Protein backbone atom coordinates (compact mmCIF):
# COMPACT_ATOMS: atom_id res chain seq x y z
CA UNK A 1 0.00 0.00 0.00
CA UNK A 2 1.40 3.41 -0.93
CA UNK A 3 1.79 6.32 1.47
CA UNK A 4 -0.93 8.25 -0.38
CA UNK A 5 -3.38 5.36 0.06
CA UNK A 6 -2.48 5.03 3.76
CA UNK A 7 -3.03 8.75 4.33
CA UNK A 8 -6.37 8.59 2.49
CA UNK A 9 -7.48 5.63 4.63
CA UNK A 10 -6.26 7.44 7.75
CA UNK A 11 -8.31 10.53 6.87
CA UNK A 12 -11.39 8.39 6.14
CA UNK A 13 -11.14 6.44 9.43
CA UNK A 14 -10.49 9.64 11.36
CA UNK A 15 -13.56 11.28 9.79
CA UNK A 16 -15.67 8.27 10.76
CA UNK A 17 -14.76 8.88 14.43
CA UNK A 18 -15.37 12.62 14.26
CA UNK A 19 -18.03 14.17 16.51
CA UNK A 20 -16.79 17.77 16.82
CA UNK A 21 -19.64 19.22 14.79
CA UNK A 22 -22.33 17.17 16.56
CA UNK A 23 -23.45 18.79 19.84
CA UNK A 24 -24.54 16.50 22.61
CA UNK A 25 -23.38 14.28 25.43
CA UNK A 26 -20.81 12.38 23.34
CA UNK A 27 -19.06 15.60 22.32
CA UNK A 28 -19.15 16.89 25.91
CA UNK A 29 -17.53 13.70 27.21
CA UNK A 30 -14.95 13.81 24.40
CA UNK A 31 -14.17 17.43 25.27
CA UNK A 32 -13.64 16.63 28.96
CA UNK A 33 -11.46 13.64 28.10
CA UNK A 34 -9.44 15.60 25.54
CA UNK A 35 -8.71 18.39 28.02
CA UNK A 36 -7.83 15.94 30.80
CA UNK A 37 -4.64 15.19 28.87
CA UNK A 38 -3.61 18.86 28.57
CA UNK A 39 -0.05 19.57 29.67
CA UNK A 40 -1.04 22.59 31.79
CA UNK A 41 -3.53 20.41 33.71
CA UNK A 42 -0.83 17.87 34.53
CA UNK A 43 1.78 20.53 35.33
CA UNK A 44 -0.66 22.14 37.78
CA UNK A 45 -1.54 18.80 39.38
CA UNK A 46 2.10 17.78 39.73
CA UNK A 47 2.99 21.20 41.17
CA UNK A 48 0.24 20.74 43.76
CA UNK A 49 1.55 17.30 44.70
CA UNK A 50 5.11 18.66 44.93
CA UNK A 51 3.95 21.60 47.06
CA UNK A 52 1.61 19.76 49.43
CA UNK A 53 3.09 16.26 49.49
CA UNK A 54 5.70 14.79 51.76
CA UNK A 55 9.25 14.09 50.53
CA UNK A 56 8.28 10.85 48.79
CA UNK A 57 5.38 12.50 46.93
CA UNK A 58 7.57 15.48 45.98
CA UNK A 59 10.15 13.13 44.49
CA UNK A 60 7.40 11.24 42.66
CA UNK A 61 5.95 14.46 41.23
CA UNK A 62 9.39 15.61 40.05
CA UNK A 63 10.10 12.30 38.35
CA UNK A 64 6.79 12.46 36.49
CA UNK A 65 7.25 16.15 35.65
CA UNK A 66 10.73 15.58 34.21
CA UNK A 67 9.48 12.66 32.12
CA UNK A 68 6.57 14.76 30.80
CA UNK A 69 8.90 17.69 30.03
CA UNK A 70 11.43 15.51 28.19
CA UNK A 71 8.65 13.90 26.18
CA UNK A 72 7.22 17.33 25.30
CA UNK A 73 10.57 18.41 23.87
CA UNK A 74 10.75 15.24 21.78
CA UNK A 75 7.16 15.56 20.52
CA UNK A 76 7.58 19.24 19.59
CA UNK A 77 10.84 18.49 17.78
CA UNK A 78 9.13 15.77 15.74
CA UNK A 79 6.13 18.02 15.01
CA UNK A 80 8.42 20.79 13.75
CA UNK A 81 10.35 18.34 11.58
CA UNK A 82 7.30 16.53 10.15
CA UNK A 83 4.93 19.54 9.97
CA UNK A 84 1.72 17.62 9.31
CA UNK A 85 -1.23 20.01 9.46
CA UNK A 86 -4.12 19.27 11.77
CA UNK A 87 -7.40 18.18 10.18
CA UNK A 88 -9.58 21.12 9.15
CA UNK A 89 -12.13 22.13 11.74
CA UNK A 90 -13.35 24.66 14.25
CA UNK A 91 -13.06 22.83 17.58
CA UNK A 92 -9.82 23.22 19.50
CA UNK A 93 -8.84 26.72 18.41
CA UNK A 94 -6.30 26.94 21.24
CA UNK A 95 -4.51 23.86 19.90
CA UNK A 96 -4.80 25.00 16.29
CA UNK A 97 -3.38 28.45 17.12
CA UNK A 98 -0.56 27.44 19.48
CA UNK A 99 0.44 24.23 17.70
CA UNK A 100 -0.78 23.83 14.12
CA UNK A 101 0.98 20.47 13.68
CA UNK A 102 -0.65 17.18 14.51
CA UNK A 103 1.94 14.40 14.13
CA UNK A 104 2.63 12.86 16.57
CA UNK A 105 -0.09 13.64 19.08
CA UNK A 106 1.37 15.10 22.25
CA UNK A 107 -1.76 14.21 24.21
CA UNK A 108 -1.56 10.57 23.13
CA UNK A 109 2.16 10.42 23.90
CA UNK A 110 1.73 12.09 27.30
CA UNK A 111 -1.26 9.99 28.40
CA UNK A 112 0.28 6.69 27.26
CA UNK A 113 3.46 7.53 29.15
CA UNK A 114 1.52 8.66 32.22
CA UNK A 115 -0.51 5.45 32.21
CA UNK A 116 2.66 3.35 32.25
CA UNK A 117 4.34 5.54 34.86
CA UNK A 118 1.27 5.44 37.08
CA UNK A 119 1.31 1.65 36.79
CA UNK A 120 5.02 1.52 37.62
CA UNK A 121 5.34 4.30 40.19
CA UNK A 122 1.86 5.33 41.27
CA UNK A 123 -0.61 4.14 43.85
CA UNK A 124 -2.22 0.82 42.96
CA UNK A 125 -5.70 2.33 42.58
CA UNK A 126 -4.47 4.70 39.82
CA UNK A 127 -3.22 2.01 37.43
CA UNK A 128 -6.55 0.63 36.13
CA UNK A 129 -7.96 4.14 35.81
CA UNK A 130 -4.92 5.32 33.83
CA UNK A 131 -4.97 2.29 31.52
CA UNK A 132 -8.60 3.01 30.56
CA UNK A 133 -8.19 6.81 30.50
CA UNK A 134 -5.17 7.08 28.16
CA UNK A 135 -6.73 5.49 25.05
CA UNK A 136 -9.97 7.38 25.66
CA UNK A 137 -8.07 10.68 25.55
CA UNK A 138 -6.53 9.63 22.23
CA UNK A 139 -9.88 8.68 20.70
CA UNK A 140 -11.37 11.95 21.98
CA UNK A 141 -8.64 13.94 20.19
CA UNK A 142 -9.57 12.25 16.89
CA UNK A 143 -13.28 12.58 17.63
CA UNK A 144 -12.91 16.32 18.13
CA UNK A 145 -11.03 16.71 14.87
CA UNK A 146 -7.67 17.94 16.13
CA UNK A 147 -5.82 14.74 15.16
CA UNK A 148 -5.84 11.97 12.62
CA UNK A 149 -5.95 8.40 13.89
CA UNK A 150 -2.32 7.86 12.83
CA UNK A 151 -1.27 10.89 14.93
CA UNK A 152 -2.57 9.31 18.12
CA UNK A 153 -1.27 5.83 17.30
CA UNK A 154 2.22 7.25 16.69
CA UNK A 155 1.93 9.43 19.79
CA UNK A 156 0.88 6.50 21.98
CA UNK A 157 3.77 4.37 20.70
CA UNK A 158 6.18 7.22 21.38
CA UNK A 159 4.73 7.60 24.88
CA UNK A 160 5.12 3.88 25.58
CA UNK A 161 8.76 3.99 24.46
CA UNK A 162 9.39 7.11 26.57
CA UNK A 163 7.81 5.42 29.59
CA UNK A 164 10.05 2.40 29.11
CA UNK A 165 13.10 4.67 29.05
CA UNK A 166 11.90 6.57 32.13
CA UNK A 167 11.31 3.38 34.08
CA UNK A 168 14.69 1.97 32.98
CA UNK A 169 16.52 5.15 34.04
CA UNK A 170 15.04 5.00 37.48
CA UNK A 171 12.18 6.42 39.29
CA UNK A 172 9.96 7.20 42.12
Q: What is the spatial distance between Cα 111 and Cα 23, in angstroms, rounded to a whole number?
A: 25
**Residues annotated as part of the active site:** 107, 147
Domain assignment present for residue 148? The answer is yes
Looking at the domain assignment, is residue 13 inside a domain?
Answer: no
Q: Tell me what pLDDT residue 172 has.
A: 56
Please check whether residue 41 lies inside any domain of the structure: yes
**pLDDT single digits (tens) 23-54:** 888 888 888 888 898 888 898 999 999 898 88
| β-pair partners for 85 | 101
Total structural domains in the chain? 1
What pLDDT is attached to residue 120? Answer: 93
Residue 56 to residue 91: CA distance in whole angstroms:
40
Count of alpha carbons within 13 angstroms of residue 57, beta-carbon side: 11
**In terms of residue numbers, what domain contains 59?**
24-169
Tell me whether residue 6 is in a domain. no
pLDDT tens, residue by residue, 53-88 = 889 899 889 999 999 999 999 999 999 999 999 888
Grouping H, G, I as helix, E, B as strand and the rest as coil, residue 17 is: helix
pTM for the model stands at 0.89
Amino acid sequence: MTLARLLTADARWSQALRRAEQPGLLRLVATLLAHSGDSWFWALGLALVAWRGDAAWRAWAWHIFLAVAALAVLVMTLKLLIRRRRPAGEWGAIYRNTDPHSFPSGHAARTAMLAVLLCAWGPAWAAPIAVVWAPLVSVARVSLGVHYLSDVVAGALLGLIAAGVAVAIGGA
